[in-house]
Amino acid sequence: MPAKRTVLFVSDGTGITVEMLGHSLLTQFEGLEVREITLPFIDSVEKAETECMPRIREALEAGNGVPVVFSTLVNSEARELIRGSGALIFDFFETFIDPLEAGLGIKSNHTIGRSHSSADKQEYKARIEAINFSMAHDDGASHRDLAEADVILVGVSRSGKTPTSLYLAMQFGVKAANYPLIPEDFERKSLPEVLKNYRKKLYGLSIAPERLREIRQERRPDSEYARLSNCRFEVEQAEIMMRQEGIHWINSTTKSIEEIATTILRDIKLQRHVY
Amino acid sequence: MPAKRTVLFVSDGTGITVEMLGHSLLTQFEGLEVREITLPFIDSVEKAETECMPRIREALEAGNGVPVVFSTLVNSEARELIRGSGALIFDFFETFIDPLEAGLGIKSNHTIGRSHSSADKQEYKARIEAINFSMAHDDGASHRDLAEADVILVGVSRSGKTPTSLYLAMQFGVKAANYPLIPEDFERKSLPEVLKNYRKKLYGLSIAPERLREIRQERRPDSEYARLSNCRFEVEQAEIMMRQEGIHWINSTTKSIEEIATTILRDIKLQRHVY
């Protein structure tokens, strides 16, 4: 096994952005084994000194290659300190802020974090409302206020509706309900009655029967519910129904939650409420 | 009102990373009014031509300043095409991949998107399990399997427990339950019985009474529940109880969901299951 190289994500905020960008770059290096350390809220040179520098020194001494630091630090003193550490530094703020100032012809604030303006408050409210809505309308739990939904996801049990609804709400402030298609619907050969009023809001998720079987098997081992032949039947019937009803649907099998949610957002051309 | 400058987020993946990084840079330019367009899944030069170029040309013709493109495109042809458009381009992939190759001494794959390896499948599973757990243990809904929780958030109604729990599950694969502290607990002057077995897992959220009042007022206008004096009383009692019980807590008033979740993750030194 190759030695693991240390990668540090250092941010004066949550570190979530710098982690995501760092990850997307690191996935380009197949076989690279890394040990990841995230250090959020490094908003002063003191914190850089006490919280980052020891971790970098430790990694240098471990001898598994020069540690890599992905950072986004507005504080230039903190940046300079880390730059002198001997690690390989990629600071996103520093890299882009100067060319962005030049291109826009405006000086930046060089301030840490988002301001908490009234626009933020509106976004926060929209986001919380969407999360509450999606929670209350998970798995067909409530028919109330379905007219307020931005989208209603349909599909067989365990096709990915719940995490997708929550992600749409959390990330984009979209009010996403979800409603299962179940064997009774297939026998009746028609959509659940309540959904017929909201045809334009429906969006389908399908899944490979083999993958569905795996997921259901974990949940209810050796049940009829998890049997491959049953999974095949349900998926086939659901796809027939969605086709007949003119419901746009995608296959979620090899997609991440982010990919499914983003595809839906693009397809339904939703007005998102959170940026 | 100043004209709005067009900002495009262009990605061969979901665009979520590039949006987040672009936003964090743009918040540095106070007063800059932007119109944002996200174009995900631009994974070929054809899509760059048909989906991006018309939007850039349109923005150039609108005359509100040169449009800004934040992109992350592995496909170099697509990048070159957009580079020739006349927009101001910041491509994260291009900017960092060469220095990263040099620093690591490894060539990158130059491939689009994550590979769907077995490690990804494990992460996916952990993430879905955490989401299901957090949904099932929202607002004290279930006492079953609380021993499996990585963390149990406590606090008065509407202090931010639900969105934080879901975010911890979604982003970090953390099994986060949440349990409300209610007037009955304050009268009895003790924690809900079921929580006493899990003291080490408890983490508190508090909130400014004035902010709590605003949030509750939206939910149940002019109720006793939303009255400022009641909000003051509940917050005070909850803080007294958390202090007595030795529960670490933070104030959520001016924090985003991401900030609260990241702070909790740092404080409890959790083993996260998703990267």
Indicate whether A53 and A131 sit together in one domain.
no
Say if A220 falls within a structural domain: yes
Same domain? For A136 and A238 the reply is: yes
In this structure, the number of other CB atoms found within 10 A of the CB of residue A180 comes to 19
A104, A133, A167 — which closes off a domain? A104
Highest mean pLDDT: which range of A25-39, A177-191, B26-40: A177-191
Q: Where are the beta strands (DSSP E) in chain B?
A: 5-11, 34-39, 68-72, 88-91, 151-155, 176-180, 202-206, 249-251
Give the per-residue pLDDT at A124: 87
Q: Count of H helices and E strands in chain B?
A: 11, 8
> In this complex, do A40 and B263 lie within 8 Å of one another by their Cβ atoms?
yes
Instruction: Mark which of B104, B128, B163 sits at the end of a domain.
Output: B104
A104 has pLDDT over 80 = yes
Residue A201 has what pLDDT? 96
Does residue B156 sit in the same domain as residue B215? yes
| Residue numbers in A near B124 (CB within 8 A) | 256
Residue B257 to residue A41, Cβ atoms within 8 A? no
Q: What is the pLDDT of residue B113?
A: 59
Residues of chain B with pLDDT under 50: 1
Residue of B nearest to A87 (CA): B103
pLDDT higher than threshold 90 for residue A213: yes
Same domain? For B189 and B81 the reply is no
Can you name the residues that pair with A176 across neighbouring β-strands?
A: A151
Mean pLDDT over each residue of chain A, to the nearest integer:
92
What is the CB neighbour count within 10 angstroms for residue B161?
28
Which positions in chain A touch B131 (Cβ < 8 Å)?
A: 162-163, 166
- Is residue A72 a part of any domain in this protein? yes
Q: Are A189 and A183 in contact (CB under 8 A)?
A: no
Number of domains observed in the structure of chain B: 2
Tokens 């995900």 belong to: B40
Same domain for B100 and B122: no
Last residue in a domain, options B56, B74, B104? B104
Same domain, B146 and B189: yes
> Cβ–Cβ of B131/A163 closer than 8 Å?
yes
Claim to verify: residue B91 and residue B122 sit in the same structural domain: no
N- to C-terminal Cα separation, chain A: 42
Q: What is the pLDDT of residues A43-99, one digit of tens each?
A: 999 999 999 999 999 999 998 899 999 999 999 999 999 999 999 999 999 999 999
B97 & B126 share domain: no
For residue B179, being part of any structural domain is answered with: yes
Angle value at C-alpha A245, between A240 and A250, nearest 5 degrees: 65
**Over residues A88-117, mean pLDDT:** 84
Q: Which residues contact B55 (CB under 8 A, 6 or more apart)?
A: B6, B8, B37, B39
Is residue B171 located within the same domain as residue B221?
yes
Rounded percentage of chain A residues whose pLDDT exceeds 70 = 94
The verdict on a CB contact (< 8 Å) between B96 and A138 is: no
A109 located within any domain: no
In this structure, are B136 and B206 located in the same domain? yes
pLDDT at A121 over 90: no
For residue B95, which residues of chain A lie inside 8 Å, CB to CB? 95-96
Chain B residue whose CA is closest to A131:
B163
Residue B188 contacts A where some CB pair is shorter than 8 Å: no
Average pLDDT over every residue of A264-270 = 88
**Contact check, Cβ <8 Å, A104/B135:** no
Mean pLDDT confidence for A29-45: 93
**In a domain? residue B228:** yes
Q: What is the per-residue burial (b if ≥16 Cβ within 10 Å, else e) of B168-192?
A: bbbbbbbbbbbbbbeeebbeeeebb
If you write DSSP's letter for every residue of B40-77 in order, what string do you get? ----SHHHIIIIIHHHHHHHHHHTSS--EEEEE-S-HH
Q: Which residues of B touch A275 (CB under 8 A)?
A: 19, 23, 36
- Answer yes or no: do A275 and B21 touch at CB < 8 A: no
**What is the model's pLDDT at position B117?**
61
How far apart are alpha carbons B152 and B7 in whole angstroms? 40
pTM for this prediction: 0.91
Contacts of B114 in chain A (CB under 8 A): 27, 256
Asked if residues A4 and B73 have their Cβ atoms less than 8 Å apart, the reply is no
Listed in sequence order, the residues at least 6 apart from B132 whose beta carbon sits closer than 8 Å to its beta carbon are A162
What's the token pair of residue B61?
């013709």
**pLDDT of A273:** 66
Do A172 and A54 belong together in one domain? no
Identify the domain containing residue B203 by its residue range: 118-268
Within this chain, do residues B134 and B167 fall inside the same structural domain, yes or no? yes
Q: Is residue B274 part of a domain?
A: no
Residue of chain B whose alpha carbon sits nearest to that of A219 = B129
Residue A182 forms part of a structural domain: yes
| pLDDT tens digits for range A134-161 | 999 999 998 889 999 999 999 999 999 9
B273 part of a folded domain:
no
Interface of A with B in 146-165 (CB under 8 A): 162-163
Chain B positions touching A28 (Cβ under 8 A) are: 74, 97, 100, 108-111
Read off the pLDDT of each residue in A176-201 and give the average, rounded to a whole number.
95
Is-contact B52 B8, C-beta < 8 A?
yes
- Using the predicted structure, report yes or no on whether residue A122 has a pLDDT greater than 90: no
Is pLDDT of A178 > 80?
yes
- At A173 the pLDDT is 94
Q: How far is CA B231 from CA A254, B138, B163, B211, B244, in A?
A: 47, 21, 20, 9, 20
Q: CATH no. for residue B57?
A: 3.40.50
pLDDT attached to residue B163: 96
- Token digits of residue A168: 């749409």
